[in-house]
Amino acid sequence: MLAEPATAAAPLVAIVDYGMGNRRSVEKALQRVGARTLMTRDHDELRAADGVLLPGVGAFPAAMRTIRELGLDDVLRECAARGTPLFGSCMGMQLLFEDSEEHGGAEGLGLLRGSVRRLNAPGLNLPHIGWNAVRWVRGSPLREGLPDPIHLYHVHTFAPHPADEEAVLGVTEYGETFATVVALGNIYGAQSHPEKSSAHGLGLLANFTKRCAQVIA
């Protein structure tokens, strides 16, 4: 599943550096699957990348506030509109949606329709921390070569509820069934931490890297 080490012809994946997320771990995971990486908040560097990965750990409102202050919201929307493959990881996936109810609510990037809501998990501990079996609900290049189900590592209290069924690629359960992998056009995301999810998480990132390579093919 893992790609060869990155070469000069490998796709360049820009990791959005806005101060929230496992940026170094994500960077190492992408390099392991064959991508060249650039950790940046520079607008022109993001625009020039073959793919963009938006990480995220923490609170949705604080993340969006920082993204807006840095002017990254418009840049990310521009990259998405141009067809650049964009992957949201963990809270970065949540930020792709229209809004979240966390801490009184906040608007997201709106690249995918739907809202982020607190997990409905009565009697279960929150945040949800652990490995979950993820079932595929349809085909996509993002799941190419991966078994059904796969197991991914999650750490979260909130989860997205896509308004478009066709955006849902993989689902899992913790109190309720929720979308944990999404794919719609050039927009992708995983509620889990792919960089901490062993071979299956690396498989997702490898397939995203292959999608980015198509930009320069």
Give me the residues paired with residue 170 across strands. 136, 181
Return the percentage of the chain with pLDDT > 90, whole number: 89
pLDDT at position 86 over 50: yes
Mean pLDDT of the chain: 94
pLDDT at position 4 over 50: no
As a whole number, mean pLDDT of residues 61-85 equals 97
- Of 57, 110, 88, nearest in space to 181 by CA: 88
pLDDT at position 191 over 80: yes
What pLDDT, on a 0 to 100 scale, did the predictor assign at position 2? 41
What pLDDT, on a 0 to 100 scale, did the predictor assign at position 7? 62
pLDDT at position 6 over 70: no
As a whole number, mean pLDDT of residues 165-185 equals 97
As a whole number, mean pLDDT of residues 131-144 equals 97
Structure tokens that stand for 93 in this block? 């996936």
pLDDT at position 118 over 80: yes
Q: Name, in order, each residue with C-beta under 8 angstroms of 180's C-beta and a sequence gap of 6 or more.
A: 132, 134, 152, 154, 159, 170, 171, 172, 190, 191, 192
pLDDT at position 3 over 50: no
Give the span between the Cα atoms of 30 and 209, in whole angstroms.
Answer: 8
What pLDDT, on a 0 to 100 scale, did the predictor assign at position 217? 60
What pLDDT, on a 0 to 100 scale, did the predictor assign at position 9? 80
As a whole number, mean pLDDT of residues 162-175 equals 97
Cα–Cα separations (whole angstroms), residue 98 to 38, 71, 107, 140: 27, 17, 6, 23
Q: Which CATH class is domain 12-216?
A: alpha beta
pLDDT at position 112 over 50: yes
Catalytic residues, by residue number, are 90, 193, 195
What pLDDT, on a 0 to 100 scale, did the predictor assign at position 11? 97
What pLDDT, on a 0 to 100 scale, did the predictor assign at position 23? 80
Position 58 confidence tier, pLDDT thresholds 50, 70, 90: confident
As a whole number, mean pLDDT of residues 148-155 equals 97
